[in-house]
Chains A and B, each alone.
Chain A
Amino acid sequence: MGVGLIVLIVVVVGGILIIAGVIAGFFNSMVSLRNRADNAWHQIDVQLRKRYDLIPNLVETVKGYAKHERETLEKVIAARKIGIDAKTVKEQAQAENMLTDTLKSLFAVSERYPDLKADVHFSRLMEELNGIESNIAYARQFFNDTVMKFNTRIQTFPGNIMAKIFNFNVKDYFEIEEPAARGPVKVEF
């Protein structure tokens, strides 16, 4: 065996090892970014559940004072149901936009009932809802940041090639339709 052959073998084996190392590194970083995004999604989910749990209470309280607003209340309940059943990030985002809208009209309605506004239970629910909604906004911010990092990793070279091989797909952002819906709903007592 000549020296040249040995050198060749070393170079080839070394090259393969380096490439394998790079691939493994990228693969691991993609997995960990994906897990981070999933975890961030879970944070949003926790806050959304909190809001879903609160809504039946809120609806019951409003019903006690405003019996004639059946239509508004039913819309809220329907929107909540859609939100709970949502499967994908996109569906969830749409459902949340709808729910936020219906809640807004519920608050508009409640303006007409001074007794309801004076109710201690109602005002505590509102306070809690405000807190949850700003937490949803924060969780959404963290989720979108994380998704952006993941998407950038799998869309830039050489991550894009590896993403194709290992089947990593671009994740959806959790988007809010209108700028007014970004902040917590402002309620005057």
Chain B
Amino acid sequence: MYENIAKNRAKTAFIIMGFIFFISLIGYFIGFYFDYSYGYGNSYSITLLIFALIIALAASFGSYYFSDRIVLSIAGARPVSKEDNPRVYYMVEGLSIAAGIPEPKIYEIPDKGMNAFATGRNPGKGVIVLTRGIIEGLSDEELKGVISHELAHIKNYDILLGTVVVVFVGMISIVANIMGRMLLFGGRGRRSSKNSSGGGIITLVLLVIGIVFILISPLIAMIIRMALSRNREYLADSTGALISRYPAGLANALRKIKENSEIRSANGATAHLFISNPLGKSSVVMFKNLFNTHPPIEERIRRLDEMSLGVGVK
């Protein structure tokens, strides 16, 4: 458990540094491309490198401190008070005592789909987000299972890493998108200015690497995301079962969620946060297993059923 926390912190630091490096590199390559097409020596590449570095630093800082709020507003979640929903409130209060963490805030997404996630940068600032569909569609024991799973994510510091990654993945895909378009469609006609910077094979190779790099960056973002979330779901399932002392609750909940986990406000950047893939079946077409952010739900149910030793299994 505690090794896990240290691991998650280290991974977060590593990802933040990697992100800064990545964005700076993109800035440099873009600048390099401009220099090449306009022939201004290396003024663009240096300027854009510094510019990208500053943006990346600001984004890292911002994502550490504000990513939870960004994620909540992307998901369209609203706070729930004790008076709004005492049933959920008491469940969260009790289970967070059992988990030994401060009581997280509760948010609700007004969506019929059944899903849930947790965010925040540490357990003291934890937030649990439940959809209206999951609150209304599950029995007490099942909902307790789901809440325990999310509390496990909070306790393990999965939330910090997961939430920071949302912002990074989002930014990388936006930047890559813009840059990709610029490279493909912009500046093409202006290369007539003959006296480009000495050229040669090295320039060309760098140019090609840069373009490839930018084009595959969404893929890289995707791989980072996948690497994060698959094992963590199994781990949170078992930690959650330890908190609720009733693995069958979560197993039965997953059986219901499986059919109905699609959320309108979820997107590619936030998908990995949710307890079950919120994107629906239509969006996963090719390489289903390769690009899935979640382990197969049947396997999770099987493991939970094994833990429950047949108690309460439907």
The minimal Cβ–Cβ distance linking B43 to chain A, given in whole angstroms, is 54
> Among residues 117 to 136 in chain A, which have CB atoms less than 8 Å away from a CB atom of chain B?
131, 134-135
How far is it, in angstroms, between the C-alpha of A131 and the C-alpha of B89 when the chains are bound? Answer: 10
Q: Given the complex, which residues of A lie within 8 Å of B90, measured CB to CB?
A: 131, 134
**Residue A59 is within 8 A (CB to CB) of chain B in the complex:** no
Interface size of A by Cβ–Cβ distance < 8 Å? 14
The minimal Cβ–Cβ distance linking A173 to chain B, given in whole angstroms, is 15
The minimal Cβ–Cβ distance linking B262 to chain A, given in whole angstroms, is 33
**Residue A163 is within 8 A (CB to CB) of chain B in the complex:** no
Q: Given the complex, which residues of A lie within 8 Å of B93, measured CB to CB?
A: 131, 135
How far is it, in angstroms, between the C-alpha of A137 and the C-alpha of B90 when the chains are bound? Answer: 13
**Residue A110 is within 8 A (CB to CB) of chain B in the complex:** no
Q: Given the complex, which residues of A lie within 8 Å of B216, measured CB to CB?
A: none
The minimal Cβ–Cβ distance linking A133 to chain B, given in whole angstroms, is 10
How far is it, in angstroms, between the C-alpha of A138 and the C-alpha of B97 when the chains are bound? Answer: 6
**Residue A105 is within 8 A (CB to CB) of chain B in the complex:** no
> Among residues 67 to 96 in chain B, which have CB atoms less than 8 Å away from a CB atom of chain A?
90, 93-95
**Residue B208 is within 8 A (CB to CB) of chain A in the complex:** no
How far is it, in angstroms, between the C-alpha of A135 and the C-alpha of B94 when the chains are bound? Answer: 5
The minimal Cβ–Cβ distance linking A33 to chain B, given in whole angstroms, is 11
**Residue B100 is within 8 A (CB to CB) of chain A in the complex:** yes
**Residue B99 is within 8 A (CB to CB) of chain A in the complex:** yes
How far is it, in angstroms, between the C-alpha of A47 and the C-alpha of B93 when the chains are bound? Answer: 12
How far is it, in angstroms, between the C-alpha of A141 and the C-alpha of B93 when the chains are bound? Answer: 14
Q: Label chain B's interface by main secondary structure.
A: helix
**Residue B245 is within 8 A (CB to CB) of chain A in the complex:** yes
Q: Given the complex, which residues of A lie within 8 Å of B98, measured CB to CB?
A: 138-139, 141-142
**Residue A95 is within 8 A (CB to CB) of chain B in the complex:** no
For A47, the closest partner residue in chain B by CB is B97
Find the residue from B90, B98, B245 having the highest chain A CB count within 10 A. B98
Interface size classification for chain B: under 10
The minimal Cβ–Cβ distance linking A1 to chain B, given in whole angstroms, is 44
Q: Given the complex, which residues of A lie within 8 Å of B94, measured CB to CB?
A: 131, 134-135, 137-138
For B242, the closest partner residue in chain A by CB is A145
The minimal Cβ–Cβ distance linking A65 to chain B, given in whole angstroms, is 26
How far is it, in angstroms, between the C-alpha of A96 and the C-alpha of B287 when the chains are bound? Answer: 58
> Among residues 15 to 54 in chain A, which have CB atoms less than 8 Å away from a CB atom of chain B?
36, 40, 43, 47
Per-residue 0/1 for B94-117: is the Cβ within 8 Å of any A Cβ (1 yes, 0 no)? 110111100000000000000000
The minimal Cβ–Cβ distance linking A81 to chain B, given in whole angstroms, is 26
Q: Given the complex, which residues of B lie within 8 Å of A43, measured CB to CB?
A: 97, 100
**Residue A92 is within 8 A (CB to CB) of chain B in the complex:** no
**Residue A151 is within 8 A (CB to CB) of chain B in the complex:** no
**Residue A146 is within 8 A (CB to CB) of chain B in the complex:** yes
Q: Given the complex, which residues of B lie within 8 Å of A142, measured CB to CB?
A: 97-100
Per-residue 0/1 for B131-145: is the Cβ within 8 Å of any A Cβ (1 yes, 0 no)? 000000000000000
How far is it, in angstroms, between the C-alpha of A36 and the C-alpha of B101 when the chains are bound? Answer: 12
Q: Given the complex, which residues of B lie within 8 Å of A134, measured CB to CB?
A: 90, 94
How far is it, in angstroms, between the C-alpha of A132 and the C-alpha of B131 when the chains are bound? Answer: 26
How far is it, in angstroms, between the C-alpha of A170 and the C-alpha of B99 when the chains are bound? Answer: 22
How far is it, in angstroms, between the C-alpha of A139 and the C-alpha of B99 when the chains are bound? Answer: 9
The minimal Cβ–Cβ distance linking B98 to chain A, given in whole angstroms, is 4
Find the residue from A131, A137, A141, A142 having the highest chain B CB count within 10 A. A141
Q: Given the complex, which residues of A lie within 8 Å of B245, measured CB to CB?
A: 141
How far is it, in angstroms, between the C-alpha of A142 and the C-alpha of B100 when the chains are bound? Answer: 6
- A139-B98, A142-B97 known; 14 other A-B pairs, CB under 8 Å? A36-B100, A43-B100, A131-B90, A134-B90, A134-B94, A135-B93, A135-B94, A135-B97, A138-B95, A139-B97, A141-B245, A142-B98, A142-B99, A145-B100
Chain A residues with a Cβ under 8 A of chain B: 36, 40, 43, 47, 131, 134-135, 137-139, 141-142, 145-146
Q: List 16 A-B contacts (CB under 8 A).
A: A36-B100, A40-B100, A43-B97, A43-B100, A131-B90, A131-B94, A134-B90, A134-B94, A135-B97, A138-B95, A138-B97, A138-B98, A141-B98, A142-B98, A142-B99, A146-B100
Closest 8 A-B residue pairs measured CB to CB? A138-B98, A138-B97, A138-B94, A142-B100, A139-B97, A141-B98, A135-B94, A131-B90
